[in-house]
Amino acid sequence: MWIGRNRKARVTYGFDEIALVPGRITINPEEVDTTFSIPCKNGDALTLSIPIMASAMDGVVDVRFAIAMGKLGGIAVLNLDGVQTRYQHPDEVLAEVLSADKDHVTALLQKMYQEPVRDDLIAKRISDIKSAGGLVAVSCIPQRAEHVGPIAAEAGADLFIVQSTVSTVRHVSTKYPTLDLADFCATMPIPVIVGNAVGYDVTLELMECGVSGVLIGVGPGAACTSRGVLGLGVPQVTATVDCAAARDAYFKKTRRYIPIITDGGMSKGGDVCKALACGSDAVMVGSAFAKAFEAPGKGYHWGMATPHANLPRGTRIHVGATGSLEQILFGPAVVDDGSQNLVGAITTCMGNVGARTIKEFQETEIIIAPSIKTEGKLFQTVQNVGMGTR
Amino acid sequence: MWIGRNRKARVTYGFDEIALVPGRITINPEEVDTTFSIPCKNGDALTLSIPIMASAMDGVVDVRFAIAMGKLGGIAVLNLDGVQTRYQHPDEVLAEVLSADKDHVTALLQKMYQEPVRDDLIAKRISDIKSAGGLVAVSCIPQRAEHVGPIAAEAGADLFIVQSTVSTVRHVSTKYPTLDLADFCATMPIPVIVGNAVGYDVTLELMECGVSGVLIGVGPGAACTSRGVLGLGVPQVTATVDCAAARDAYFKKTRRYIPIITDGGMSKGGDVCKALACGSDAVMVGSAFAKAFEAPGKGYHWGMATPHANLPRGTRIHVGATGSLEQILFGPAVVDDGSQNLVGAITTCMGNVGARTIKEFQETEIIIAPSIKTEGKLFQTVQNVGMGTR
Amino acid sequence: MWIGRNRKARVTYGFDEIALVPGRITINPEEVDTTFSIPCKNGDALTLSIPIMASAMDGVVDVRFAIAMGKLGGIAVLNLDGVQTRYQHPDEVLAEVLSADKDHVTALLQKMYQEPVRDDLIAKRISDIKSAGGLVAVSCIPQRAEHVGPIAAEAGADLFIVQSTVSTVRHVSTKYPTLDLADFCATMPIPVIVGNAVGYDVTLELMECGVSGVLIGVGPGAACTSRGVLGLGVPQVTATVDCAAARDAYFKKTRRYIPIITDGGMSKGGDVCKALACGSDAVMVGSAFAKAFEAPGKGYHWGMATPHANLPRGTRIHVGATGSLEQILFGPAVVDDGSQNLVGAITTCMGNVGARTIKEFQETEIIIAPSIKTEGKLFQTVQNVGMGTR
Amino acid sequence: MWIGRNRKARVTYGFDEIALVPGRITINPEEVDTTFSIPCKNGDALTLSIPIMASAMDGVVDVRFAIAMGKLGGIAVLNLDGVQTRYQHPDEVLAEVLSADKDHVTALLQKMYQEPVRDDLIAKRISDIKSAGGLVAVSCIPQRAEHVGPIAAEAGADLFIVQSTVSTVRHVSTKYPTLDLADFCATMPIPVIVGNAVGYDVTLELMECGVSGVLIGVGPGAACTSRGVLGLGVPQVTATVDCAAARDAYFKKTRRYIPIITDGGMSKGGDVCKALACGSDAVMVGSAFAKAFEAPGKGYHWGMATPHANLPRGTRIHVGATGSLEQILFGPAVVDDGSQNLVGAITTCMGNVGARTIKEFQETEIIIAPSIKTEGKLFQTVQNVGMGTR
């Protein structure tokens, strides 16, 4: 579309603007396969029975949460730049965030994250999770990856994530050394996932560096304000579709299938289903898990760019602690708004569209349907129930 | 439209996004014909003077309501999987739903619907309605149709509806036997309506199985949350237009005219008119009838997927008991928001667009008019009156 | 656009979705010409210095208001089917409407309008307005036009309006005689305006009957609920553009220029400007005048289809009595939301787009600009001031 | 798009409907260049390290504010038609505006601005700012430019702005002399910026008159109501893109690069970034600076057309005094909504899209993304935090 003289712009879409179309064949939801695999260097793969990861956010994942998630078949990512590796006793610090009032919480977070990260705590957190028997996934920012990566691998991490607001292969700076991603992936003994990205070209370039997965999404997170502060971002439907095309092109060329993981903007089962139907191999979810009784945020959740000293790009939100992690993943849901039993939502939706596997689910017919959230729902909206829950 | 690289999606529409265009000829509303017919096997038809059915929902239809609806020329569908056939004295159980608080009602419904359905109650409810002299319509889910169908026919039902969230001819399961719909329709002595469907192909396939009607709509219901929980659904305007095209194609090929019935998402006369103008032969309405003094929900209404043990996809809403069923169907309306005198709305609209019959009404010019609900209506919205009634 | 298989629909627009583009030349607003003319039979014309008429609504126009409007250069239409001609002392009746509570006002209006219209009161109201020296405009419904028209002309009316929700030349009824519009126009000694219409073909057919003007708009009125109750209507931008094309086509063929008057949906100066820029020759305004100290509704306003015995299609709204009629027409505005000094808004806008006359104003460049009401206006919206006034 | 028969309209866009796409290369934000230059007659330029100007509005700029802004590398425009040049002691008058209640503030402003502008105060305000060492920018309306311009230049102003709601080269009036802009630019010894404009042709014509810059925007301001009162305006994305095309065409023809400055509608860092990415060379901001402790409005802000005697086209809003001017420009931000550290937002965004200079930033890929403000943000909206801050 033309947005003005001599200048065109693509129309892009977010989750609320689309819907999935029921299939001509339906399948018993108990008979669909939701397996998700992350390729390892040696040709093996980390295989998970459910395509859902928990975000590397301090209100969501700590050691206890990561262990619980692993036991349920999923994987939670521990943020190695967060409070867990800055503080010996992070719970005391977290308690302050929870009790801070709205007008002072940003300043508090800014101060709290000035405490330096400790290498010994990195190793300790990892081995604590590891000792419970599950997979260990950790993340850090690009500037610290070369230092932190080997420590994490050494301590037993199974998956390493290099995460920043916008990831590219080429970052220009004359003031600090930049990460050579291809070199880093080649050196690390464990799979490296990188993000976040939103474009075809960038995703392709990241895959050519040897990553084992790409996180998709700039700014959609429930507690993120980058889109307001910077004007930056691509809605998740288009971002996912574009990056899935890059994955497929890369696979066609190399026969290596590198998964993409849609990250952020999905609070309900329906959003998760849409992300997969748009072509994602798995999703990374924050706020939905911040609602778990097991989450360290105890019903609070905040963006990982909130503590930025000069330009915070996140906020603290209250999501409430509404159920156990097991309920959130597998039900039984005792709420009617789609925020519990995310896996049940995936399998039921797959059954209704007739998809046996995630790969088939990625082929679901999508429609542009801006009225899908409101048609017939006036009472729910007015009464703050069901799809109108606020 | 492209929603991203290599992937297109159709734009679809809901009721609030369209409007009907007045005709070049207008007709006295008292002289239009709203007859609706459901074909029977023997070449006969069930003929109704008004094209409106009441939904098989526990807050809407019980024996008393079905009798009242029949006397007024319409037909109400009794849900054979609901409280009426699980409980000898359903009113006691319903009273609990009405008094439950918002946070516990889902769990209550989950528990309540674990009581088994009793064959004797199926027969009893049907004969009770039958004895009042009107037509009897009943519904059950596909898994139970082969068992329940014969019992219902035997007890005197005139119309049988097989209803699930998403109906297809081909359902895959290795764990339970699936319904052979063609066989079922061939065996049943009474007309069989199936739903819900939203697509051209599926509607065509259902018609080829010998059904006597197809219910159109996935997720639009006022008390339904499937669209949020599963991301699934097609807005009702596009769903109805698509399925009407399938009906017409089937008629062209076979000379058999199988009606489609738009089900859900219509709370006002204007919505009902739009559904018919989109090509529907009749509508099925839930929340509008839940407002009747005669409805068992006494002003409350809930989705039939709400009691799902693991993944509830409905909620309870309060619609209020605002008038008699007669007022809701034929007026006089004492409210100004279009929720009463639905038949008067149909005939007045038919008069204004110059349609003598429902078939002519289906040819009405439709416009895409997103501003139709708001243009000039600021005061109504702010003051919660008329079209702004919440 | 396709709204589904085999079916297309036009995209249509309302006032809030468009904006007017400033011109390459600007003009001193005091030097633009806003004259509006209604052709008479003898080749003469009723000429008004301002292109604004007051709606034939009982909360807006009574004898006193019509006189005041005439003195200011405009014309107010008295509703001959309303309280003014049913009651000797309408003010007592109006007082009841104003004091009725929200839940009972519809029933009250239904009852109030059952009192029969009196021919003697028709003549009296007209001569009372006439005696003040201004032009007299009156309206009635088509079924009563042949009876009322001659009485009104005889009593001194200058302009007769035949008004119904949807006007067509061809109305079909076997139960009552229908109006022969061409015959009526030929017989009446004064100009006849007819409405409401929204389509090219209908407008053309009405003009071919010899009308002196056509009212444009179905359902946009601030107190009207037809669009919700019946699903019927065309947003005013598209309706006006379409009917302006019919007027131009008729003029091209016959050299007779029959004005169109956009009626309803304009509460602010900006809306009035948009209607004229869309091609209208004048506007008919209800709610904006209901705010006048002179209006009989004393700050209340209701739709003329609200009293319908069986299917009310209007509601009562509270608009407040905010200023004198003179202020509303010519300022000085003491409010900042555009509801006062409507003529000043027209001339200022004409100056800014460089239009010397209404005919030039009709050529203004229009853009589709859905963000025009909200861009930058968060504070106004939140604080209920300016463009955010509710 | 067709808006009706025989009539087309362009689709135009505002800030909330677009987003910026992250780049394939990213840059360290500390290494980008945000320089902005205004050409002078002698071939020199006024060069500013930041591309942000403060609007000529009475709640934003007084002498003290202008000095503070200059010290921080920006430039604030003093309104020579405002309270500062009408009153010896404007603070007393301003205090009245701040304490007036909502219903009387328009009348108060109308009265307040009837006090005549004093030439001696013009000179005094300018020399007061000048004496602090920074650049002095002032503005007045076209009708007064020929009188005020020389006084201002004489008193030491560095930049003169001729500002009205809609500026054109050709203004028609027989009742007062009109400004000969080419002559005025030729005569004035200092650069002349003119505005506001929104179209390609008008911008080109203004540049051909010899202006040193053009302000872009009709009606977007936070305290402006022109779009509601007059129906006039073009959303800022399209306005900026169109005028940037005119600037580029003018540059191609003449090799003179005349900057355009998007004026109004940007309250957050993200909006500022979008304006620059749309092709602007700098932005002019009002409400964001009205939040500064240094602003004379002390948290209140009003449109400069609000005092119009007959047709006010602005309102007073409360923006709150939330931080120092330094914080608003450079941080550290202690709020999370993007209203502080505007320059940090620009440099961070430039880094993320890979733009080294404003000229490169103008080439950023833009997408149409109506969901960008809401995707995933339900909690922020409901809880009035972050991007949901009201």
Evaluate whether A349 touches A20 at the Cβ level (below 8 Å): yes
Q: Look at residue D104 in the predicted model and tell me its pLDDT.
A: 87
Q: Look at residue C48 in the predicted model and tell me its pLDDT.
A: 95
Q: Using CA atoms, how far apart are residues B200 and B241, in angstroms rounded to an integer? A: 9
Partner-chain contact C373 D310, CB within 8 Å: no
* A240-274: pLDDT as tens digits: 999 999 999 999 999 999 999 999 999 899 999 99
Average pLDDT over residues C332-360: 94
> Is residue C306's pLDDT more than 90?
no
Q: How far is D3 from chain A (nearest CA, A)?
A: 17
Evaluate whether D91 touches D112 at the Cβ level (below 8 Å): no
Q: How far is D186 from chain C (nearest CA, A)?
A: 21
Confidence of residue A208 (pLDDT cuts 50, 70, 90): very high
> Is residue C284's pLDDT more than 80?
yes
> Of the candidates D264, D309, D390, which has its C-beta nearest C382's C-beta?
D390
Cα distances (angstroms) measured from residue B78 to each of B63, D106, D157: 8, 62, 83
Q: Look at residue B65 in the predicted model and tell me its pLDDT.
A: 97
A270 contact residues in B (CB cutoff 8 A): 227-232
CA of B327: which chain C residue's CA is closest?
Answer: C310
Q: Look at residue D335 in the predicted model and tell me its pLDDT.
A: 83
Do D and A touch (≥3 CB pairs < 8 Å)?
yes
Q: Look at residue D38 in the predicted model and tell me its pLDDT.
A: 97
CA of A263: which chain D residue's CA is closest?
Answer: D376
Where helices occur in C59-171 by DSSP H, the ranges are: 63-71, 83-86, 90-99, 105-112, 119-130, 142-155
Q: How far is C198 from chain B (nearest CA, A)?
A: 8
Partner-chain contact C386 D223, CB within 8 Å: yes
**Spatial CA neighbour of A369 closest among A231, A234, A274, A262:** A274
Evaluate the CA torsion angle C319, C325, C327, C328 in order and state its sign: positive
Residues B124-139 as b/e (b if ≥16 CB within 10 A, e otherwise) read bbbebbbeeebbbbbb
Of all helices (H) and strands (E), which one includes residue D96? Answer: helix D90-99
Which site among D266, D330, D357, D379 would you substitute to test the A interface, given the most A Cβ atoms closer than 10 Å to its Cβ? D379
> Is residue B390's pLDDT more than 90?
no
Partner-chain contact B240 C4, CB within 8 Å: yes
* C182-230: pLDDT as tens digits: 999 999 999 999 999 999 999 999 999 999 999 999 999 888 888 999 9
* C232-274: pLDDT as tens digits: 999 999 999 999 999 999 999 999 999 999 999 998 999 999 9
Evaluate whether C355 touches C34 at the Cβ level (below 8 Å): no
To the nearest whole number, what is the mean pLDDT of chain A?
94
Phi, psi of B97 (to 5 degrees): -60, -40
CA of A201: which chain D residue's CA is closest?
Answer: D24
* Helix orientation angle between D200-208 and D236-254, rounded to the nearest 10 degrees: 40
Partner-chain contact C19 D238, CB within 8 Å: no
Q: Look at residue D386 in the predicted model and tell me its pLDDT.
A: 84
Partner-chain contact C12 D4, CB within 8 Å: yes
Q: How far is C22 from chain D (nearest CA, A)?
A: 7
Partner-chain contact C20 D205, CB within 8 Å: no
Q: Look at residue D240 in the predicted model and tell me its pLDDT.
A: 98
> Is residue C371's pLDDT more than 80?
yes
Evaluate whether D304 touches D56 at the Cβ level (below 8 Å): yes
> CA dihedral in degrees (D195, D199, D202, D207; nearest 10)?
70
Which site among D1, D162, D315, D373 would you substitute to test the C interface, given the most C Cβ atoms closer than 10 Å to its Cβ? D315
Other CB atoms within a 10 A radius of the CB of residue C32 amount to: 22
CA of D350: which chain A residue's CA is closest?
Answer: A230
Confidence of residue C28 (pLDDT cuts 50, 70, 90): very high
Partner-chain contact B270 C173, CB within 8 Å: no
Whether cis (ω within 30° of 0) applies to the bond prior to B332 is: yes
> Of the candidates C27, C331, C349, which has its C-beta nearest D231's C-beta?
C349
Q: Look at residue A17 in the predicted model and tell me its pLDDT.
A: 97
Q: List chains touching A (3+ CB pairs under 8 A).
A: B, D
CA of B12: which chain A residue's CA is closest?
Answer: A369
> Is residue C309's pLDDT more than 90?
no
Evaluate whether D306 touches D314 at the Cβ level (below 8 Å): yes
> DSSP class of residue B178?
-
Q: List chains touching B (3+ CB pairs under 8 A).
A: A, C
Average pLDDT over residues B250-258: 97
CA of A27: which chain B residue's CA is closest?
Answer: B172
**Spatial CA neighbour of C55 closest among C192, C163, C181, C212:** C163
Strand, coil or helix: A370: helix
Confidence of residue B80 (pLDDT cuts 50, 70, 90): very high
Q: Look at chain D and count its residues.
A: 390
To the nearest whole number, what is the mean pLDDT of chain B?
94
* A210-242: pLDDT as tens digits: 999 999 999 998 888 889 999 999 999 999 999
Q: Look at residue A51 in the predicted model and tell me its pLDDT.
A: 97
Partner-chain contact B228 A334, CB within 8 Å: no
Partner-chain contact A239 B4, CB within 8 Å: yes
> Is residue A42's pLDDT more than 90?
no
Q: How far is D103 from chain C (nearest CA, A)?
A: 8
Of all helices (H) and strands (E), which one includes residue B256? Answer: none
Q: How far is A51 from chain D (nearest CA, A)?
A: 20
Q: Look at residue D30 in the predicted model and tell me its pLDDT.
A: 95
> Is residue B150's pLDDT more than 90?
yes
Evaluate whether D144 touches D81 at the Cβ level (below 8 Å): yes
DSSP A323-340: B-HHHHHH----SSSS-S
Low-confidence ranges of chain D (pLDDT < 70): none
Q: How far is D163 from chain C (nearest CA, A)?
A: 14
Confidence of residue A307 (pLDDT cuts 50, 70, 90): confident
Higher pLDDT, A309 or C3: C3
Q: Which two tokens stand for residue B280?
A: 């529907």
* A99-148: pLDDT as tens digits: 998 888 888 998 999 999 999 999 999 999 999 998 999 999 999 999 99
Partner-chain contact B334 C107, CB within 8 Å: yes
**Spatial CA neighbour of C151 closest among C130, C133, C134, C126:** C126
> 3-state SS of chain C: helix, strand, coil percent to 5?
40, 20, 40
Q: Look at residue D65 in the predicted model and tell me its pLDDT.
A: 97
Whether cis (ω within 30° of 0) applies to the bond prior to D332 is: yes
Of all helices (H) and strands (E), which one includes residue C329? Answer: helix C325-330
Partner-chain contact D375 A14, CB within 8 Å: yes
* A59-93: pLDDT as tens digits: 999 999 999 999 999 999 999 999 999 999 999 99
Q: Look at residue D5 in the predicted model and tell me its pLDDT.
A: 95
Other CB atoms within a 10 A radius of the CB of residue D95 amount to: 12
**Spatial CA neighbour of D336 closest among A263, A57, A226:** A226
Evaluate whether D352 touches D23 at the Cβ level (below 8 Å): yes
Q: How far is D161 from chain C (nearest CA, A)?
A: 19
Do D and B touch (≥3 CB pairs < 8 Å)?
no
Q: Whole-prediction pTM value?
A: 0.96
> Is residue C390's pLDDT more than 80?
no
Confidence of residue A383 (pLDDT cuts 50, 70, 90): confident
Provide the strand spans (E) within chain D: 2-4, 7-8, 10-11, 18-20, 25-27, 36-39, 45-48, 52-54, 75-79, 137-140, 159-163, 170-172, 192-197, 213-216, 260-263, 282-285, 300-302, 316-318, 366-368
> Is residue B180's pLDDT more than 90?
yes
Q: How far is D34 from chain A (nearest CA, A)?
A: 15
Average pLDDT over residues B93-115: 90
Q: Look at residue B196 in the predicted model and tell me its pLDDT.
A: 94
> Of the candidates A168, A224, A265, which has its C-beta nearest D24's C-beta?
A168
Q: List chains touching D (3+ CB pairs under 8 A).
A: A, C
Q: Using CA atoms, how far apart are residues B332 and B268, in angstroms rounded to an integer? A: 15
Give every CB contact of residue B147 below 8 A, 6+ residues apart in sequence: none
What pairs with residue A213 in β-bridges? A193
> Of the candidates D279, D375, D380, which has its C-beta nearest A16's C-beta?
D375
Q: Look at residue C41 in the predicted model and tell me its pLDDT.
A: 83
Q: Look at residue D314 in the predicted model and tell me its pLDDT.
A: 86
Q: Which two tokens stand for residue D223?
A: 């305290």
C236 contact residues in D (CB cutoff 8 A): none
Partner-chain contact D10 A17, CB within 8 Å: no
